[in-house]
Structure 1
Amino acid sequence: MKLKHGQAVVLMVAVTLMWSIAGVITRHLEQARSFEVTFWRSFFTVVSLLVILPFFQGREVFAKIRRGGWPLWLSGVCWSVMFTAFMVALTLTSVANVLVTMSVGPFLTAVLARIFIGHRIPPRTAVAIVLAGCGIGYMYGTQLGEGSIAGTLVALFVPLAGAVNWTVTQRSHAQGHDVDLVPAVLVGAAISSLVTLPLAMPFQASGHDVALLALLGLVQLAIPCALSVVCARVLKAPEISLLGLLEVIFGIVLAWWGAGEVPTPTVLAGGSLVIGALMLNELVGWRQRA
């Protein structure tokens, strides 16, 4: 899939919208808890990708996994950490607290990309990161006191693994290695489901729960995670993480609207600042490219 920059931006926004449905759907589960939630979502992600990837790439996708080398497998481990830590954190604390904690991703990604692949951060992106950071800090200060410390600590593994993942993706392409990292999403989901299977026993999920988690596996993980790796071939690592902050806004709004988790005024104010930073970065970037 060949994308122009503007198309990649729009697609990445759609990806964040799909990612953001996890919180509100999780709040409607009846009996599934903790690692069982993670297992079923990862399991259905594997099933979905075993259909999606061969449909677009044929049987060659399995050969790519064998030939992918360390970048693909390291990316797969990162995906598995993100899949597992995110869902466990959602069972320990509020949706807003998890999403706000995840928002440190752009800062971690920018630092790692600068250190390991020498990415220069454009002034517009640097300003946007600072503004977004102010909004995140404002939101985080309030949400931390309302949520579980354990949930916050688990959620921190998501942006850390994400920063490593995006940096690995960018580095492999910068070095001219034609490695398709989309199958890494499949590897990550398989690792996550295998690791959490023993911890999920005995199963308690109802049929209603399994259906919702199957929906998450397909719409919230399989499709958007594969598309996000495609976007990473066009967008810079800090830019991807900055756009990924929209998941925070979308997720909080959906949890508010669909599950009654009402955000505080500070969350609304901080979220507005984050969106403003995103718009500033993209508008200035489009103007410069024009």
Structure 2
Amino acid sequence: MPDQLTDKSNQILGISLVLASTVAFSLSGVLTKAIESDTWTIAVWRGLLGAILIVGYFFWQNRTSAAPTELRLGWRGWLLASVGSLASLAFIAAFKMTYVANVAVIYATVPFAAALLEWILLRQKVRRPTMIAATISLTGVLIMVGAGVGSVNLLGDFVAVLMMFGNALYMVLIRIFSKTPVVLAGAASAFLLFVIGWYFTDPLAVSLHDGLLLTLFGLSFAIAVILWTEGTRIITAAESGLLGSSEVPLAIFMAWVFLAEVPPLTSFVGGVLVLCAVLWHAVRDYQQAKSV
């Protein structure tokens, strides 16, 4: 009986941590649009604060380890960090150029793009449910992006699609480079944006208002990563994927509450298609995991 209570408590803790991480992640669009500074300035501050906190978390996590902490990334780690940096930069830029809803929905299709890249790069067979969900999601994304033709949002939607493939490639590289310290690569990714960004902007030339929001953005990013990492250690990947899908409606809700941003009808139609596909796929994975 005590073991069952412990397992139940751990599951509740894991669910709570992952849900809290989705709330923190869902603030990205609101904070990006609320900050008046340019994309590079946001990337520099988010990268600096994120790198510091993630590295601190890494050492705290390994504080009881008897083995010395491996700090070498090697070319694989730096390739992973570079891809992560480009994807993060596109993520911020997309929010600046199009609706939060569009970026959030397109980002939700990352697992399906990753499955496609795994098939191309690793010749890994794609499951039939994944193919169905990916096809529905692609239809939704095409509806959203197609509606932006001739409008100022088209470039932002295109950047969001590039961001989606960048994150998908990042996920696949994590699997290929399985022995690479992922947390350190994530910190290096954030730090790269900090270093490179100094050549494109003056990050110190920000208002007090932007400075506070930039600090909040960096903190929320790092906290989201840490909460998600700790939560996924406790619950199954299927549960984490299902809970993570709540980030899409949360991001759209946050944009409506804080920015009064209401995207066009086509964004809702495409978003509903993508969200239904993501939820159906996540629920199916969850049910299969429970039946094992």
Return the TM-score normalized by structure 1.
0.79
Percent same amino acid at aligned positions? 26
**Given residue 41 of structure 1, which amino acid in structure 2 is its aligned partner?**
R
Between Structure 1 and Structure 2, how many residues are aligned? 277
**Given residue 141 of structure 2, which amino acid in structure 1 is its aligned partner?**
I
1: CA distance, partners of 2:281 / 2:15? 11
Would you say the 8 A contact 2:141–2:274 is kept in 1? yes
2: CA distance, partners of 1:131 / 1:6? 32
Partner of 2:49: 44
**Given residue 22 of structure 1, which amino acid in structure 2 is its aligned partner?**
S
SS at match of 2:263: coil
Q: 1:6 to 1:158 in 2, by over 3 A?
A: farther
Which range moves more in the overlay, 57-66 or 146-155? 57-66
Q: CA deviation at 1:189?
A: 0.5
Q: CA deviation at 1:112?
A: 1.2
**Given residue 70 of structure 2, which amino acid in structure 1 is its aligned partner?**
K
For structure 2, the 5+ residue unaligned runs are 1-9
Q: CA deviation at 1:141?
A: 2.4
Partner of 2:70: 64
Deviations 1:190-221 (A, max 9, x none): 101111112122643212211211111121x2
Which range moves more in the overlay, 128-137 or 40-49? 128-137
Q: How does 1:19-58 map to 2 (within 5 A)?
A: 19-29=25-35, 31-58=36-63
Q: CA deviation at 1:12?
A: 5.6
Deviations 1:176-195 (A, max 9, x none): x3x33111110000101111
Q: CA deviation at 1:252?
A: 2.3
Which range moves more in the overlay, 11-20 or 209-218? 11-20
Q: How does 1:1-290 map to 2 (within 5 A)?
A: 14-29=20-35, 31-58=36-63, 63-66=69-72, 68-102=73-107, 105-173=110-178, 177=179, 179-201=180-202, 203-219=204-220, 221-226=221-226, 231=232, 235=237, 246-289=246-289, 290=291
SS at match of 1:205: coil
1: CA distance, partners of 2:19 / 2:142? 22
For structure 1, the 5+ residue unaligned runs are none
1: CA distance, partners of 2:158 / 2:279? 30
SS at match of 2:182: coil
Would you say the 8 A contact 1:64–1:183 is kept in 2? no
Q: 1:5 to 1:120 in 2, by over 3 A?
A: farther
Would you say the 8 A contact 1:35–1:200 is kept in 2? yes
Which range moves more in the overlay, 185-194 or 78-87? 78-87
2: CA distance, partners of 1:144 / 1:8? 42
Deviations 1:133-180 (A, max 9, x none): 23333233224554344434433331222121110111233xxx3x33
SS at match of 1:198: coil
1: CA distance, partners of 2:275 / 2:157? 23
SS at match of 2:281: helix
Q: 1:21 to 1:33 in 2, by over 3 A?
A: same
Q: 1:131 to 1:13 in 2, by over 3 A?
A: farther
Q: 1:281 to 1:108 in 2, by over 3 A?
A: closer
Partner of 2:6: none
Return the TM-score normalized by structure 2.
0.78
- Tell me the C-alpha RMSD between the 2 structures: 3.5
Would you say the 8 A contact 1:39–1:196 is kept in 2? yes
Q: 1:160 to 1:12 in 2, by over 3 A?
A: farther
**Given residue 47 of structure 1, which amino acid in structure 2 is its aligned partner?**
I
**Given residue 172 of structure 2, which amino acid in structure 1 is its aligned partner?**
T
SS at match of 1:268: helix
